[in-house]
């Protein structure tokens, strides 16, 4: 049974609207002023609030609306007033009210507004649950030095409106980082809109980004609002921005510089207030040098660079990530969770994870389904991991997780092997570049690679 809190200084309004909603099956509570309304909201946590705009006392409806939105971002608030003008209605909407009713109220208008508000609340709850299931709820899992550095950078850049270029390999969680930046920003209660630049057909990029008017081209039977308008006052994530064509890059640059867009087939510019985040798994600086990405757009997007480390560079996070994905699977499927042994987790930590966190999530889900309620050890992990050069042998290669029954020389060789293979991977196999990253000379690195049986590309 949905609960409604009515906050209005007029007793007749509280009585009549309360009787109407009670007859419709709502659980109704009321308050005669803003201060009491806030107390009742904290006490009852209603499903929605019906709030009068103008009330006597130091705190009016607008003030209470701001307090409710700050404390309960997903709580729908429907404003009502008999003396408010258009400016008041616009202000209330900007502060987060989902609807505005003019007095005298009508039963049909009240019921329709509250039904829409409840649908919105349900949609918000489902969205939150879905994002949690997908691992997109803003939680960055792991406490390795690399992840602590990412969190620190997010905390520093989120309060600003600066554009951030998030780079990293596929599957590292770039969208999750963007979501965390938005969630910690002053725009957190505003839209967070993502557009996958790689998935948009070349001839529809402008329509997708900026929208179009009815009849603008064949098939445009209705007006379409583009992603920039949808993200107005919020955050827009341009995922895989390096995939945009040269023409699309030019139009994107203009929209960012002018802070306005124009729908396809439209005749006037539309001002937009959007914070732009961009993500890519490409080396955009290299793309600029090779003429595939506009230098001016790169500089506009790369105000603050933020690199997300691949999973192989933070193996200490694998146990926490595994537990996180196990919990998600159990919540989603209802199956009994498997029992992970230390050998099983060690086996995950020895794999190089070319698909990064996304691949780990898939493997953990696969194991959770195949071995629900059973033990998962190294043998079970090996049965689902691809065979080949990506699996390392020996003890878990964690600096703080050495096996006490392993010879010191073997443990040192294993750690040296881990450092060298990481550097080679980051350098795309080029030994000279890997040597530079390891702060050693190339002949010395070659000797170490030969002793450890590590292959590399010729320079």
Shared domain check, 184 and 100: no
pLDDT at 446 over 90: no
- In sequence order, the 6+-apart residues with CB closer than 8 A to the CB of 447 are none
Give the per-residue SS3 of the chain. CCEEEEECCCHHHHHHHHHHHHHCCCEEEEECCHHHHHHHHHHHCCCEEEEECCCCCCCCHHHHHHHHHHHCCCCCEEEEECCCCHHHHHHHHHCCCCEEEECCCCHHHHHHHHHHHHHHHHHHHHHHHHHHHCCCCCCCCCCCHHHHHHHHHHHHHCCCCCCEEEECCCCCCHHHHHHHHHHCCCCCCCCEEEEEHHHCCHHHHHHHHHEECCCCCCCCCCCEECHHHHCCCCEEEEECHHHCCHHHHHHHHHHHHHCEECCECCCCCEECCCEEEEEECCCHHHHHHCCCCCHHHHHHHCCEEEECCCHHHCHHHHHHHHHHHHHHHHHHHCCCCCEECHHHHHHHHCECCCCHHHHHHHHHHHHHHHCCCCEECHHHHHHHCCCCCCECCCCCCCCCCCCCCCCHHHHHHHHHHHHHHHHHHHCCCEHHHHHHHCCCCHHHHHHHHHHHCCCCECC
Shared domain check, 352 and 286: no
pLDDT on residue 453: 74
Shared domain check, 356 and 269: no
Whether residue 394 is contained in a domain is answered as: no
- Mean pLDDT value of segment 142-171: 93
Residue 163 confidence class, pLDDT cut points 50, 70, 90: very high
- Print the domain residue range for 174: 145-309
Q: Say how far apart CA 266 and CA 255 lie, in whole Å.
A: 15
pLDDT on residue 415: 78
Q: Say how far apart CA 409 and CA 413 lie, in whole Å.
A: 6
Q: What is the pTM of this model?
A: 0.60
Shared domain check, 103 and 56: yes
pLDDT at 221 over 50: yes
Residue 271, beta-bridge partner list:
260
Shared domain check, 152 and 225: yes
Shared domain check, 297 and 150: yes
Shared domain check, 423 and 296: no
Domain with residue 164: its CATH number is: 3.40.50.300
pLDDT on residue 201: 81
Shared domain check, 83 and 205: no
Whether residue 20 is contained in a domain is answered as: yes
pLDDT on residue 393: 45
Lowest mean pLDDT among 72-76, 244-248, 364-368: 72-76
Q: Residues in the chain, how many? A: 459
pLDDT on residue 84: 67
pLDDT at 96 over 80: yes
φ and ψ at residue 79, rounded to 5 degrees: -90, 155
Q: What Å distances lie between residue 211 and 136, 201, 223, 236, CA to CA?
A: 27, 14, 8, 15
pLDDT at 128 over 80: no
pLDDT on residue 377: 93
Whether residue 339 is contained in a domain is answered as: yes
- Mean pLDDT value of segment 244-271: 89
Short-list 382, 454, 391, 392, CA closest to 423: 454
Q: Say how far apart CA 178 and CA 166 lie, in whole Å.
A: 8
Q: Say how far apart CA 201 and CA 219 lie, in whole Å.
A: 15
Split into its structural domains, the chain has a count of 4
For 411-423, what is each residue's pLDDT tens digit? 677 778 778 877 7
pLDDT at 181 over 80: yes
User: What's the token pair of residue 264?
Assistant: 């396809």
Shared domain check, 124 and 70: yes
- Mean pLDDT value of segment 103-132: 81
Whether residue 393 is contained in a domain is answered as: no
- Mean pLDDT value of segment 5-17: 94
Strands 235-239 and 275-280: parallel
Shared domain check, 355 and 441: no
pLDDT at 390 over 70: no
Q: Say how far apart CA 229 and CA 213 lie, in whole Å.
A: 13
Domain with residue 61: its CATH number is: 3.40.50.2300
pLDDT at 401 over 50: no
Shared domain check, 77 and 11: yes
Rounded to 5°, the CA angle 298-300-302 comes to 65
Shared domain check, 358 and 267: no
Whether residue 138 is contained in a domain is answered as: no
pLDDT at 134 over 70: no
Lowest mean pLDDT among 270-279, 398-407, 435-444: 398-407
Whether residue 264 is contained in a domain is answered as: yes
């Amino acid at each position: 049974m949905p609960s409604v809190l009515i906050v209005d200084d007029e007793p007749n309004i509280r009585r009549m609207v309360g009787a109407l909603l009670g007859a419709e099956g709502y659980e109704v509570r009321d308050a005669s002023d803003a201060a009491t309304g806030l107390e009742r909201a904290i006490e009852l946590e209603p499903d929605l609030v019906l709030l009068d705009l103008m009330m006597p006392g130091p705190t009016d409806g607008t003030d209470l609306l701001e307090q409710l939105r700050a404390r309960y971002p997903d709580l729908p608030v429907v404003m009502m007033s008999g003396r408010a003008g258009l400016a008041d209605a616009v202000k209330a909407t900007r502060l987060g009210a989902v609807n505005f009713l003019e007095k005298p109220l009508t039963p049909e208008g009240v019921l329709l507004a509250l039904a829409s508000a409840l649908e919105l609340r349900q949609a918000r709850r489902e969205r939150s649950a879905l994002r949690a299931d997908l691992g997109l709820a803003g939680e960055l899992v792991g406490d390795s030095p690399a992840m602590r550095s990412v969190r620190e950078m997010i905390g520093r850049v989120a309060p600003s409106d600066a554009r951030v270029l998030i780079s990293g390999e596929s599957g590292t969680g770039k969208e999750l980082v963007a979501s965390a930046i938005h969630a910690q920003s002053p725009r957190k209660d505003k839209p967070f809109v993502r557009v996958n630049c790689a998935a948009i057909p070349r001839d529809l990029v402008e329509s997708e980004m900026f929208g179009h008017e009815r009849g603008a081209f064949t098939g445009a039977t209705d007006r379409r609002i583009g992603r920039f308008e949808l993200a107005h006052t919020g955050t827009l994530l341009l995922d895989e921005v390096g995939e945009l064509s040269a023409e699309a890059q030019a139009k994107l640059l203009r929209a960012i510089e002018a802070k306005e867009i124009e729908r396809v087939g439209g005749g006037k510019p539309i001002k937009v207030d959007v914070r732009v985040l961009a993500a890519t798994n490409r080396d955009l600086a290299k793309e600029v040098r090779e003429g595939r990405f506009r230098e001016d757009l790169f500089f506009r997007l790369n105000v603050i660079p933020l690199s997300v480390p691949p999973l192989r560079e933070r193996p200490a996070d694998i146990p926490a990530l595994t537990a996180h994905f196990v919990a998600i699977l159990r919540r989603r499927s209802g199956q009994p969770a498997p029992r992970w042994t230390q050998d099983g987790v060690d086996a995950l930590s020895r794999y190089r994870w070319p698909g990064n966190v996304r691949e780990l999530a898939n493997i953990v889900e696969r194991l959770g389904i195949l071995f629900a309620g059973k033990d998962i050890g190294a043998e079970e992990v090996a049965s689902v991991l691809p065979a080949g050069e990506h699996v390392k042998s020996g003890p878990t290669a964690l600096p703080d997780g050495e096996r006490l029954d392993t010879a010191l020389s073997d443990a040192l060789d294993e750690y040296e092997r881990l450092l060298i293979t990481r550097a080679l991977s980051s350098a795309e196999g080029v030994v000279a570049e890997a040597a530079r990253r390891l702060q050693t000379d190339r002949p010395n690195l070659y000797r170490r690679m030969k002793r450890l049986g590590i292959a590399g590309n010729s320079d």
